[in-house]
Chains A and B, each alone.
Chain A
Amino acid sequence: MDTLKILCSKTHEYALETDSNTYLIGLTDYAIEQLGDIVFLELPEVGSTFNKGDMFATVESVKAASEIYMPISGTVTEINEEILTSPELLNEYQDEKNWLIKVDFVGDNEEFLDLMDYDTYREEVE
């Protein structure tokens, strides 16, 4: 993954800007490593809108279930059907193919203040 461009939350989600106002939302590599073998994923429907900090998805590994929170506010425009069908791919994909949902950003720019660049995030969690 092009870690230079991602912004990470303390709760281990990332936002990656792909187009003006459009972001891919996913789980950080650190989160996936901690979860271990992922076997189940629930994603929201296209069209639903979430505020920053809202729970929007659930992931289950063999060991445990985890909730996934929005790093920014957004309206879902697309979900990653490939990952939804085969969530174990999250353990394989090391690149941006591991995104979960695509959103149109609907918040204000202050929402980015507590997000970290990848290197800062890795220092924070390790």
Chain B
Amino acid sequence: MLKETVLHNNHVELGAKMVDFAGWHMPVQYSSIIEEHKNVRQNVGLFDVSHMGEIFISGKDSIKFLQKIVPQNIENLFDSKAVYCQLTNENGGIIDDLIIYKLKDEKYLAIVNASRVDTDINWFIRNSLDFDVYIDNQSHNYSLIALQGPKSDDVLKNLGYETEQDFFTIREVLIKNIPVMLSKTGYTGENGYEILLKNKFAKEMWNLLLQAGKDFSILPIGLGARDTLRLEAALPLYGNDLSEETTPIEAGLSWTVPKDKTAAYNGKDVILNQISSGTQKKVIGIKMITRVVPRHEQEVYFNNEKVGEVTSGSFAPSINCSIALCNILNKPEISVGSTVQVLIRDKFYDAVVVKRPFINKRNSNKENKE
């Protein structure tokens, strides 16, 4: 039996096409993926991402515990600060990617992927035995609504909420008297917020945001456009681009791993060794010459040799071409500007290696104005 978010009926009433996603019955699109995608880049969009998991961590050993389970440095976070992390196993493989928020001393929040909640909880508990820490899975009590796009601030302003908030911070605030945790984060490459709130307030908040957003052409956005938006921003998706067989370094996430963290963490030896000696594999971004769409697990070739595979691929509505993230052998001769081939239905299609992310926010704004 598929799980439903509190907003399930709202999606059905809005005419969404519903699909099974990680055990949840979720909206994949309301009108058209391309239309929804462009609306987030140009205006604003509203996403129900309540399927994601919320795990609270508290207790006097919270820092020590968190320091052990992620390569990122949790020690120096100030109150309300968030950090993008990976949960690594002893080999450095990625069990999940997540955002950890410091709410206050000895109180943290982890927002994790829906498909990994159970695995993560087990891993948290296994790793917590030596620590005075309380792990509280609150996923079933919380809803998560994402407001994303250049007009996100205008929508909140229309609801009487006006503020300057730094990227990757979270605040407990009242919006129209509804208590929410307002996080300035997202999965689209746009300015925007993720609004965490108790289930009982979710319907009211969803409707308020849709109503307040009318002046700014707000649209509800399905998981289809969420995927194309995150891919253009080159943000990885667990299960496609990340897995227990990939380390953060191999996944192109070295920028998230500090070299100078003194605390021990799961997989530290492997990860530090990869930072100093390099990896066998690397991530590249490619742009197809025609609009043929590269898909997950299709093979990538260079000079007639198989060098890797596509981890995520799609048509990219903002740049009107097809793009992909690929995991390939770490060959120095494959770099930005190189031509590679993707094997799609027994035919080779040319692609050019390009810089990641695929969109540059400033450029896309320029395009919109023309």
Contact = CB atoms under 8 A, between A and B. Distances in A.
A58 B33 contact: no
A63 B19 CA distance: 12
A91 B315 contact: no
Interface stretch (B6-14, B179-187, B285-293, B328-336): B285-293
Nearest to A37: B34
B297 to A, nearest CB: 13
Contacts of A62: 33-34, 224, 228, 293, 314-315, 317
A60 B290 CA distance: 12
A39 B224 contact: no
A37 B32 CA distance: 6
Contacts of B291: 39-40, 87
Instruction: Say whether chain B's binding surface is mostly helix, strand, loop, or mixed.
Output: mixed
Contacts of B228: 62
Contacts of A58: 345
Q: In this complex, which of A39, A62, A65, A87 has the most chain B Cβ atoms within 10 angstroms of its Cβ?
A: A62
B292 A63 contact: no
A36 interface: yes
A: interface residue count bin: 10 to 19
Interface string B12-37: 00000100000000001100111000
Given A62-B228, A63-B224, A36 B33 contact: yes
B87 to A, nearest CB: 29
B33 A37 contact: yes
A65 B224 CA distance: 15
B295 A36 contact: no
Contacts of B345: 58, 65
B322 interface: yes
B15 to A, nearest CB: 12
Interface in A6-64: 36-37, 39-40, 42, 58, 60, 62-63
Nearest to A55: B345
A90 to B, nearest CB: 12
Interface residues of B, number: 18
A94 B292 CA distance: 24
B315 A40 contact: yes
A39 B272 CA distance: 43
B32 A40 contact: no
A59 to B, nearest CB: 10
B32 A91 contact: yes
Given A62-B228, A63-B224, A36 B292 contact: no
Q: In this complex, which of B28, B32, B314 has the most chain A Cβ atoms within 10 angstroms of its Cβ?
A: B32
A26 B32 CA distance: 21
27 contacts: A36-B17, A36-B29, A36-B32, A37-B32, A37-B33, A37-B34, A37-B315, A39-B291, A39-B293, A40-B290, A40-B293, A40-B315, A40-B322, A58-B345, A60-B292, A60-B293, A60-B315, A62-B33, A62-B34, A62-B228, A62-B293, A63-B28, A63-B33, A63-B224, A65-B345, A87-B291, A91-B32
Given A60-B292, A65-B345, 19 more contacts: A36-B17, A36-B29, A37-B32, A37-B33, A37-B34, A37-B315, A39-B293, A39-B315, A40-B291, A42-B292, A60-B315, A62-B33, A62-B293, A62-B317, A63-B28, A63-B33, A63-B224, A87-B291, A91-B32
Interface of A: 36-37, 39-40, 42, 58, 60, 62-63, 65, 87, 91
Closest 10 CB pairs of A and B: A39-B315, A37-B34, A40-B291, A62-B33, A60-B293, A62-B315, A40-B292, A37-B33, A37-B32, A39-B291
